[in-house]
C-alpha cells in the first residue's frame, strides 16, 4: 500500500521536477556555507561496494527513524526534513522529491545499509547541522548490558577430541574466557557458566542464564564430524521448544551435513524478508540476527568458511527466557582446524569475531528500536 502511494506520488510530482530540484539545491546550503559534515562512521563493504550502516548514521545525526516492514520503506526525520528510502531502491525521496543515490539501499545480514552517496546527496545537504556532542563510538551499553558466556562441556565431559588429542572442553573454555575479557573491555558485564574445568549439567547452565538476568546467552562449542574433511564455522540460534534432546541432537547432526552445500548468504536472503517483521516479538529473531552478525564478522576477520546460520532445538536453554546462540568455532575432527584451534592467536581471533558480531548486532538494534517507539 505505502509502496504504491510512493509510486503514485512520484508520477504526480514529475511535472514539477524542475521546481523541486531547484528547491533541493537551496536546503541547508542556503543558510550556511556548504561544508562536509564530519562523519566518523565506518564503511561496510558488501560485494566490493561501500555502504554506511543506517543505524549508525541515525545515531550520529540523531535522526528519527521508522521502518515499515510491509512496504520495506524507511523514513528518516529531523526537524522538518523527511527522507524516505526503499530497500532495493537507489532512489531517496527528500520531502517528497526524488534523489538518485546511485546504488540501492540494501539489507546485508539484517543490517540496513545505505550507499556512500547518501552522505553527499542527503546528509551534507539536508542534515548538515552536526550534533553538538558527538555520539559515543559504540551505542552498545544501552542495549546489551549483560551476557552469559557458556563454555561447552567440562570436567568428566571432554566434548569432541581431535586426532592429536585437543579436547573441546579446553578450547571452549579458553575462547569463552577471552570473549569475557573482550566484552568486559567494552563495558559489558559477563557471567561465565564456568571459568574452570568443571562439569555443569545443561539444566545448570540454563539456571545460571536465568539467574543472571542477561540480554544474551552465547554458548561456545567446537564441532566434530565423522568425516575429517568437514570444516568451517557455524552459528546456531537456539529455540526453546524442546521436548526431546536426542531428537534435537540428531536433527543438528543432519543439519551439519546439509551445511556443506549451504551458503550463509543464501540463508541471509531467505531470512531477510521476514527478519524485521518478527524482530521485536521473538527472542529467536534476535538470536538469528546475532548469529548472522557473528558469522559475518568471522568471515570478514578470519576468512573462515561459513557453514551457516541455522536453528536447532538444543536443550541447553530449556526454559530460559533470553535469546541464545551456539557458536561452533571449528571442527576438531578436521586436522587443519584442530591445528588452528590449538593456537592461542587463532582462539583470540575467534573470540574477537564473536565480540564484534555482538557489537554490530547492537548497532543494528538501535536502528530497529528507533522504528518501534
List the grid coordinates of 3: 509502496
* Only segment of 62-70, 75-83, 217-225, 254-262 that touches Zn ion (CB under 5 A): 217-225
The Cα 325–Cα 217 span in angstroms is 6
* Only segment of 53-61, 66-74, 78-86, 157-165 that touches Zn ion (CB under 5 A): 157-165
Q: For Zn ion, which is the closer residue by CB, 115 or 152?
A: 152
> Per CB under 5 A, does 330 bind Zn ion?
no
Residue 252, Ramachandran bin (φ over 0: left; ψ between -120 and 50: alpha; else beta)? alpha
Q: For Zn ion, which is the closer residue by CB, 286 or 328?
A: 328
* Only segment of 32-40, 221-229, 230-238, 336-344 that touches Zn ion (CB under 5 A): 221-229
Give the count of alpha carbons within 13 A of 304, CB side only.
29
| Interface with Zn ion in residues 91-120 (CB under 5 A) | none
> Per CB under 5 A, does 221 bind Zn ion?
yes
State the nearest-atom distance from the C-beta of 294 to Zn ion, in Å. Answer: 16
**Rounded (5°) CA angle 113-117-27:** 115
> Per CB under 5 A, does 159 bind Zn ion?
yes
Quick note: the x/- pattern for Zn ion over 6-45, rule CB under 5 A, is: ----------------------------------------
List the grid coordinates of 42: 565506518
State the nearest-atom distance from the C-beta of 39 to Zn ion, in Å. Answer: 43
| Span between the terminal Cα atoms of the chain, in Å | 22
> Per CB under 5 A, does 152 bind Zn ion?
yes
Where does residue 36 rank: exposed (0-12), middle (13-18), buried (19+ CB within 10 A)?
Answer: exposed
Helix (H) or strand (E) holding 357: helix 344-371
> Per CB under 5 A, does 154 bind Zn ion?
no
Q: For Zn ion, which is the closer residue by CB, 113 or 218?
A: 218
* Only segment of 111-119, 218-226, 273-281, 336-344 that touches Zn ion (CB under 5 A): 218-226
The Cα 194–Cα 201 span in angstroms is 11
> Per CB under 5 A, does 169 bind Zn ion?
no
The Cα 200–Cα 209 span in angstroms is 13
Q: For Zn ion, which is the closer residue by CB, 152 or 357?
A: 152
> Per CB under 5 A, does 232 bind Zn ion?
no
The Cα 304–Cα 48 span in angstroms is 18
State the nearest-atom distance from the C-beta of 103 to Zn ion, in Å. Answer: 42
Asked if 17 contacts 96 with a C-beta cutoff of 8 angstroms, the reply is no
Q: For Zn ion, which is the closer residue by CB, 139 or 249?
A: 249
Pairing of strands 111-115, 49-53: antiparallel
For the four alpha carbons of 161, 311, 141 and 346, in that order, the dihedral sign comes to positive
Q: For Zn ion, which is the closer residue by CB, 98 or 152?
A: 152
The Cα 139–Cα 132 span in angstroms is 17
Q: For Zn ion, which is the closer residue by CB, 118 or 314?
A: 314
State the nearest-atom distance from the C-beta of 202 to Zn ion, in Å. Answer: 11
List the grid coordinates of 324: 541464545
DSSP state of 161: B
Residue whose CB is nearest to Zn ion in the complex, by number: 221
Q: For Zn ion, which is the closer residue by CB, 276 or 331?
A: 331
State the nearest-atom distance from the C-beta of 148 to Zn ion, in Å. Answer: 16
Interface with Zn ion (CB under 5 A): 152, 159, 221
Amino acid at each position: 500500500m505505502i509502496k504504491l502511494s510512493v509510486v503514485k506520488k512520484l508520477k504526480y510530482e514529475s511535472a514539477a521536477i524542475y521546481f523541486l530540484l531547484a528547491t533541493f539545491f537551496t536546503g541547508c546550503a542556503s543558510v550556511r556555507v556548504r561544508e562536509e559534515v564530519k562523519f566518523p562512521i565506518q564503511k561496510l563493504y558488501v560485494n566490493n561496494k561501500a555502504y554506511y550502516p543506517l543505524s549508525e548514521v541515525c545515531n550520529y545525526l540523531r535522526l528519527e527513524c521508522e521502518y515499515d516492514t510491509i512496504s520495506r520503506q524507511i523514513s528518516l526525520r529531523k526537524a522538518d526534513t523527511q527522507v524516505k528510502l526503499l530497500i532495493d531502491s537507489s532512489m531517496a525521496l527528500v520531502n517528497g522529491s526524488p534523489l538518485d543515490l546511485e546504488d540501492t539501499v540494501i539489507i546485508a545480514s539484517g543490517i540496513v545499509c545505505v550507499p556512500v552517496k547518501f552522505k553527499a546527496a542527503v546528509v551534507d545537504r539536508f542534515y548538515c547541522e552536526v550534533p553538538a556532542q558527538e555520539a559515543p563510538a559504540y551505542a552498545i551499553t544501552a542495549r546489551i548490558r549483560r551476557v552469559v558466556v557458556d563454555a561447552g562441556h567440562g570436567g568428566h565431559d571432554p566434548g569432541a577430541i581431535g586426532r592429536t588429542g585437543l579436547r573441546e572442553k579446553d578450547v571452549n573454555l579458553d575462547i569463552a574466557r577471552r570473549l569475557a575479557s573482550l566484552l568486559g573491555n567494552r563495558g559489558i558485564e559477563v557471567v561465565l557458566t564456568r571459568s574452570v574445568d568443571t562439569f555443569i549439567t545443561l539444566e545448570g547452565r540454563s539456571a545460571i542464564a536465568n539467574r543472571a538476568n542477561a540480554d544474551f546467552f552465547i554458548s561456545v562449542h567446537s564441532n566434530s564430524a565423522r568425516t575429517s574433511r568437514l570444516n568451517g564455522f557455524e552459528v546456531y540460534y537456539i529455540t526453546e521448544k524442546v521436548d526431546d534432546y536426542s531428537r534435537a541432537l540428531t536433527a543438528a547432526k543432519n543439519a551439519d551435513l546439509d551445511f556443506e552445500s549451504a551458503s550463509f548468504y543464501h540463508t541471509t536472503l531467505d531470512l531477510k524478508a521476514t527478519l524485521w517483521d518478527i524482530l521485536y516479538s521473538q527472542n529467536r529473531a534476535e538470536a538469528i540476527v546475532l548469529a548472522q552478525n557473528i558469522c559475518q564478522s568471522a568471515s570478514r576477520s578470519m576468512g573462515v568458511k561459513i557453514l551457516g546460520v541455522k536453528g536447532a532445538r538444543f536443550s541447553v536453554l530449556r526454559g530460559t527466557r533470553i535469546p541464545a546462540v551456539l557458536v561452533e568455532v571449528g571442527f576438531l575432527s578436521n586436522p587443519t582446524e584442530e591445528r588452528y584451534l590449538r593456537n592461542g592467536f587463532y582462539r583470540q581471533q575467534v573470540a574477537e569475531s564473536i565480540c564484534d558480531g555482538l557489537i554490530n548486532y547492537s548497532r543494528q538494534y538501535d536502528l530497529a528500536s528507533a522504528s518501534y517507539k
